[in-house]
Structure 1
Amino acid sequence: MMTTLSEQEFLVLNGAHLKKMASANELARAVGVAASDAEAVLNAAADKGLLMVTEGKYLLLPDGTSAVHEYYTTAYGTLRSNEEVLAWYDRFETINDQFIKQVSEWQSADGDDRIQARLIKTVERLIKNIGELTPLIPRYHTYVDRFGASVALVDQGEKDYVCKPTLDSVHNVWFEFHEDILSVIGRPRDT
């Protein structure tokens, strides 16, 4: 039986889908909703068997993943053939390749400041480019906000916010955004 999600249910469950395993507060911050609203959605979804809770963290189950994917198809189906969106994605892939290379170089060089500066410039370029999509996908403003917050912390010397997996680091936000835009345009990760 297919579950049809409301916009708010999609926001929260998509956050769980992209983060893989997160608390209600982490999901609320990531998707830009009140923690109490996120918790209500998560608890209702758990009651429906769409996700499970383990040690205060939520994990989407197959039925929840199917519901999220169905929402993408319904809400963004027309964007999957929009030439401007597809051209935007092609440009993103070039930036994505640069970002991946810069993260690897940064890690290999133990956080070299020059490499970090180039990496942050690449992120700032993506932030600007996401602005081209927000008229079509308004919820993408949360990625702009999250990138901005992580970059600000990196600028303050918090190098963990470059790519530490347990934080809302630049790398984690980038990974989630990439998964999200792939789902919007209907392409698998390996394409």
Structure 2
Amino acid sequence: MIDELTILRLVAMKGRVSPDTIALSLDADAADVGRRLDEYVSRELIAATPRGFRITPAGRARCTNLVAAEHRIVDTAAVEQIYGTFTEHNLELREVITDWQMRGPDQPNDHTDGEYDGAVLDRLQALHQRVLPLLDQIADVAPRLGHYRTRLVKAADRVAAGEHGFVSKPIVDSYHTVWFELHEDLIGLAGLTRADEAEAGRGA
């Protein structure tokens, strides 16, 4: 069964979500996810809106408490090593995504240059291969985060199949979207905050 924190964190990070969106991300049964979401509505942790479920202030507080509890029981030294390696990969991913979206400071990439795009996509796939061992380490240290490996592999495979919206499109489980969510969870696992990381220059 998917744990409460995983579902609440996805709702919080995605903003407005349907049961199908959560189920697709976590490879779970949509009906089961729907029942879980209804339970969290009854506990006032999330709220139902015409555009989907959203996190409530009580839900954010619950996430904060659960993340803190998770941080207290993990191998701190292992998490520190993992996060240090992740931030190195994160710098490279940021460059790849920037180059995918832009050809220069004031020149958006219109994706008409297949050679240019192909070179960027090759860099993304090469980075993905280097990241896979780290994703295995993450799952070993914090099994709750194991779904990120599956989701990143799916995104990379869809990009390789020519579905280039899965590079960075925000409304799907694109590589960049899933990576951002993983970064958010690793920040919590390491006992840090997004504000601290932004100040240190390690933002998404």
Instruction: Determine if the TM-score, normalized by the shorter chain, exceeds 0.5.
Output: yes
User: 1:3 matched to which residue of 2?
Assistant: none
- Deviation of 1:66 (Å): 0.9
Distance in 1, matches of 2:119 and 2:136, equals 26
> Which of 10, 30, 33 is the aligned partner of 1:38?
33
Write out aligned runs for 1:21-36 (5 A).
Answer: 21-36=16-31
The DSSP-based 3-state class of the residue aligned with 1:58 is strand
List gaps (5 residues or longer) in structure 1. Answer: 1-5
Q: Does 1:177 align with 2:153?
A: no
One-letter amino acid of the structure 2 residue matched with residue 105 of structure 1: D
Decide which moves more: 159-168 or 133-142. 133-142
Distance in 2, matches of 1:187 and 1:153, equals 32
User: 2:101 matched to which residue of 1?
Assistant: 107
Runs of at least 4 residues off by over 4 Å: none
User: 1:188 matched to which residue of 2?
Assistant: 193
One-letter amino acid of the structure 1 residue matched with residue 84 of structure 2: D
Distance in 1, matches of 2:2 and 2:34, equals 15
Q: Does 1:95 align with 2:100?
A: no
- Deviation of 1:153 (Å): 0.8
Change (3 A) 1:20 1:124: farther
The DSSP-based 3-state class of the residue aligned with 1:134 is helix
List gaps (5 residues or longer) in structure 2. Answer: 104-108, 112-116, 198-204
The aligned length equals 185
> Which of 16, 21, 34 is the aligned partner of 2:11?
16
One-letter amino acid of the structure 2 residue matched with residue 107 of structure 1: Q
Distance in 2, matches of 1:16 and 1:33, equals 15
The DSSP-based 3-state class of the residue aligned with 1:59 is strand
Identity of aligned residues (%): 24
- Deviation of 1:86 (Å): 0.3
User: 1:118 matched to which residue of 2?
Assistant: 123
Are 1:22 and 1:58, in contact at CA under 8 Å, matched by a contact in 2? yes
Change (3 A) 1:17 1:127: farther
User: 2:140 matched to which residue of 1?
Assistant: 135
Change (3 A) 1:48 1:161: same
